[in-house]
């Protein structure tokens, strides 16, 4: 069993920031790893059996399941979600969900790893709902979903999908020779309620105080996610566009805290942002 890490960075629609998951390596035959994150917190059911709440990471017997996420807060108006998954022995399956008011406003990814038909190449299979979404692999267009990318160089890659009328999504993955990584996206419809205003408009007083500003760099998706905390599992606040500038409030390893409109603030990944001064 290859023990290289499968790093997964979920760049949600506002500009993603970086963090990672590692794939599960166990010597126990028939045991799999399952990692589930959701916004908001949800109860997790496998074949109608409650196994815990998000965020969740634990071992489960390998096999096929119906996984269901039901919001923990019964007063919330967001919808539940369910799908079929197959847990592969000694490998990790990652589920990331953003539960919306309806299925059409919900989004997320399921990432699974399995041995490929060729031990000498790494493969990435990209699927989506809706299908026929454009696939960008490290910023280069490769086709539309469903799509199988063969002979991927072993290492880190950005996989992004986009289609008209839906919010784009991106993940960072690390491919491994002899394995096929499947990334199954669900896109949410674009609507006015899904994104807060994030117009970069530093005030005159900001410009005159020699403050440090953060310039948003180009991203594979054309936007960068802003999060409530410096973590990829933190709540998404809004999205910001490349070449926009925001006052910097704080800096942590790999993250910048920026000031937005209406006294709002949030964190962006330093991978796609840089200090620019005035």
DSSP letters spanning the chain: --------EEE-TT------------SSTTEEEEEEEEES-EEEEETTEEEEESSEEEEEESEEEEEEEEES-TT--PPPEEEEEEEPTT-EEEEEEE--SSGGG-EEEEEEEEE-S-TT-EEEEEEEESSS-EEEETTEEEEESSEEEEEEPSEEEEEEEE-TTB--EEEEEEE-TTEEEEEEEEPPBP-TTS---------HHHHTTT--EEEEPP-TTS-EEEESSSSTTSPEEEEE-TT-EEEEEEEETTEEEEE-GGG-EEEEEGGGEEE---
Which residues constitute the domain of residue 182? Answer: 9-186
Verify that 59 and 179 share a domain, yes or no: yes
In a domain, 196, yes or no: no
- Partners of 11 in the β-ladder: 170
Verify that 59 and 92 share a domain, yes or no: yes
Helices (H), 103-250: 204-207
Name the residue with tokens 């998951």: 21
In a domain, 133, yes or no: yes
Verify that 76 and 180 share a domain, yes or no: yes
- Partners of 273 in the β-ladder: 216
Verify that 217 and 176 share a domain, yes or no: no
Instruction: Provide the domain count of the chain.
Output: 2
Verify that 39 and 130 share a domain, yes or no: yes
Verify that 79 and 157 share a domain, yes or no: yes
In the listed set 136, 158, 186, which residue is the last one of a domain according to the structure?
Answer: 186
In a domain, 74, yes or no: yes
Instruction: Reply yes or no on whether the pLDDT at 260 is more than 80.
Output: yes
Determine the straight-line distance between the first and last CA of the chain, rounded to whole angstroms.
51
Verify that 73 and 175 share a domain, yes or no: yes
In the listed set 186, 213, 230, which residue is the last one of a domain according to the structure?
Answer: 186
Verify that 66 and 20 share a domain, yes or no: yes
In the listed set 160, 186, 212, which residue is the last one of a domain according to the structure?
Answer: 186
Instruction: Reply yes or no on whether the pLDDT at 162 is more than 50.
Output: yes
Joined together, the tokens standing for residue 246 give 């925001």
In a domain, 67, yes or no: yes
What is the per-residue pLDDT for 261? Answer: 80
In a domain, 194, yes or no: no
At 75, is the pLDDT very low, low, confident or very high (cuts 50, 70, 90)?
A: low
Are 158 and 141 contacting, i.e. CB atoms less than 8 angstroms apart? no
Verify that 153 and 121 share a domain, yes or no: yes
Verify that 13 and 146 share a domain, yes or no: yes
Q: Which position has the higher pLDDT, 219 or 13? A: 219
Distance CA 120, CA 276 (A): 44
Are 134 and 191 contacting, i.e. CB atoms less than 8 angstroms apart? no
pLDDT averaged over every residue in the chain: 80
What is the per-residue pLDDT for 3? Answer: 32
At 191, is the pLDDT very low, low, confident or very high (cuts 50, 70, 90)?
A: low
Nearest to 237 by CA among 248, 225, 249, 247: 225
What is the per-residue pLDDT for 62? Answer: 93
In a domain, 3, yes or no: no
Nearest to 133 by CA among 110, 164, 109, 172: 164
Largest CA-CA distance found in the chain, in angstroms, rounded: 64
In a domain, 210, yes or no: yes
Are 39 and 53 contacting, i.e. CB atoms less than 8 angstroms apart? no
Joined together, the tokens standing for residue 266 give 């949030």
Verify that 261 and 176 share a domain, yes or no: no
Are 12 and 169 contacting, i.e. CB atoms less than 8 angstroms apart? yes
Distance CA 232, CA 226 (A): 10
Verify that 149 and 266 share a domain, yes or no: no
At 96, is the pLDDT very low, low, confident or very high (cuts 50, 70, 90)?
A: very high
Are 47 and 102 contacting, i.e. CB atoms less than 8 angstroms apart? no
Instruction: Reply yes or no on whether the pLDDT at 200 is more than 90.
Output: no
Give the CATH number for residue 232. Answer: 2.30.30.40
Are 141 and 135 contacting, i.e. CB atoms less than 8 angstroms apart? yes
In a domain, 232, yes or no: yes
């Amino acid at each position: 069993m290859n023990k290289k890490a499968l790093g997964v960075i979920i760049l949600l629609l506002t500009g993603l920031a970086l963090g990672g998951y590692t794939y599960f390596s166990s010597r126990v035959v028939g045991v799999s790893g399952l990692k589930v994150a959701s916004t908001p917190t949800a109860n997790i059911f496998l074949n109608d059996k409650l196994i815990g709440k998000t965020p969740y990471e634990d071992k489960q017997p390998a096999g096929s399941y119906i996984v269901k996420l039901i919001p923990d807060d019964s007063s919330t108006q967001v919808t539940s979600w369910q799908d079929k998954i197959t847990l592969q022995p000694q490998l990790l399956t990652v589920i990331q969900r953003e539960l919306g008011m309806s299925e059409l406003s919900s989004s997320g990814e399921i990432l699974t790893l399995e041995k490929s038909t060729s031990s000498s190449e790494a493969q990435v299979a990209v699927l989506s709902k809706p299908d026929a979404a454009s696939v960008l692999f490290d910023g280069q267009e490769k086709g539309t979903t469903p799509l199988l990318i063969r002979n991927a160089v072993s290492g880190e890659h950005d996989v992004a999908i986009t289609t008209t009328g839906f919010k784009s999504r991106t993940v960072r993955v690390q491919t491994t020779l002899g394995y096929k990584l499947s990334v199954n996206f669900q896109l949410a419809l674009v609507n006015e309620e899904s994104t807060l205003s994030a117009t970069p408009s530093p005030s005159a007083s900001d410009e005159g105080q020699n403050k440090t500003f953060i310039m948003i760099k180009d991203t594979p998706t054309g936007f960068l996610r802003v999060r409530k905390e410096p973590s990829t599992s933190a709540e998404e606040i809004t999205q910001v566009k490349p070449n926009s500038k925001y006052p910097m409030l704080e800096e942590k390893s790999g993250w910048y805290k920026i000031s937005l409109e209406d006294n709002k603030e949030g964190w962006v990944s330093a991978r796609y942002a840089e200090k620019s001064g005035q």
